[in-house]
Amino acid sequence: MRALIAGNWKMHGLAASRCEVAALADKMKASAPADCDVLICPPATLVAAFAKDFSGAAIQFGGQDCHAVPSGAHTGDISAEMFADAGAAFVIVGHSERRADHGESDAEVRLKAEAVLRAGLTPIICVGESEAERKAGTALDVVGAQLERSLPETSADFVIAYEPVWAIGTGLTPTLADIAEMHGFIRSNTRKDVRILYGGSVKPGNATEILAIDNVNGALVGGASLKADDFYPIVMAGGKQ
């Protein structure tokens, strides 16, 4: 299966951040894994410009969230069709920061994932347990319930990202055995051809060992995707699956 190395810039990046994409494109032009898709999800304000400026590069662009309907009276929201129009290929839905900051439920996440498919794009559907849930030994149950309620019923392409909430932006990661257990569990709950990404404190120093785990088909990278010098070694690690 082709790996997917995806960068989630979150609420970071101005027009000047184009230089980081340019630096990554240059590095990838010199050497890039043939069997790995590379995606950057910048703030929505930058998607159209990046998709246009880097149309010749082996980097795709995506949104970080979308509204479930194509258009309407929803001030400040952006639809999946608008991301498609801007040149996006993917949209992340159900990130734990959306679930926590905006109270998004599994049912809403499923509607958003269906919206992304409706627009002809690929959703990256995020799931993951909290620290308390991991400590209580309920991580598999929590993720199992999220999958059951937030995955679309479709034969179309979608991606699942397992992001333990306590590993996001903390420098902490689960043990390799815990990642293997969770990804094996997610695989048993979905199709064989669905890519399952790991996310949460992926760095150049741990990417190779994480990406070598069975059923880890790529990474969703936050902080380390902002600088080409950090993201490029993770992209290279994606080619070594």
Annotated catalytic sites, by residue?
95, 163
Given 221, 234, 235, 237, the residue binding ligand 13P (CB under 6 A) = 221
Partnered with residue 127 across adjacent β-strands are: 162
Cβ atoms of 112 and 94 within 8 Å: the answer is: yes
What are the tokens at 64?
A: 């970080």
Give the number of residues in contact with ligand 13P, rule: CB under 6 A. Answer: 14
Minimum CB separation of residue 70 from ligand 13P in Å reads 25
CA distances for 147 relative to 144, 169, 194, angstroms? 5, 23, 13
What are the tokens at 195?
A: 């890519």
Q: Distance (Å, rounded) from C-alpha 191 to C-alpha 155?
A: 9
- Site map (CB under 6 A) of ligand 13P, residues 152-181, x = contact: -----------x----xx------------
Minimum CB separation of residue 224 from ligand 13P in Å reads 6
Among 56, 40, 45, residue whose Cα is nearest residue 90: 40
Report the residue closest to ligand 13P, judged by CB: 222
Minimum CB separation of residue 66 from ligand 13P in Å reads 15
**Residues ≥6 apart with Cβ < 8 Å to 73:** none
Per rule CB under 6 A, is residue 200 in the interface with ligand 13P? Answer: yes
Comparison of 202 and 228: residue with beta carbon closer to ligand 13P: 202
Q: Sign of the CA dihedral 177, 179, 182, 184?
A: negative
Per rule CB under 6 A, is residue 38 in the interface with ligand 13P? Answer: no
Given 4, 8, 54, 67, the residue binding ligand 13P (CB under 6 A) = 8
Q: Distance (Å, rounded) from C-alpha 224 to C-alpha 72?
A: 36
Among 161, 145, 153, 154, residue whose Cα is nearest residue 62: 161
Comparison of 81 and 128: residue with beta carbon closer to ligand 13P: 128
- Site map (CB under 6 A) of ligand 13P, residues 104-143, x = contact: ----------------------------------------
- Which residues contact ligand 13P (rule: CB under 6 A)? 8, 95, 163, 168-169, 199-202, 220-224
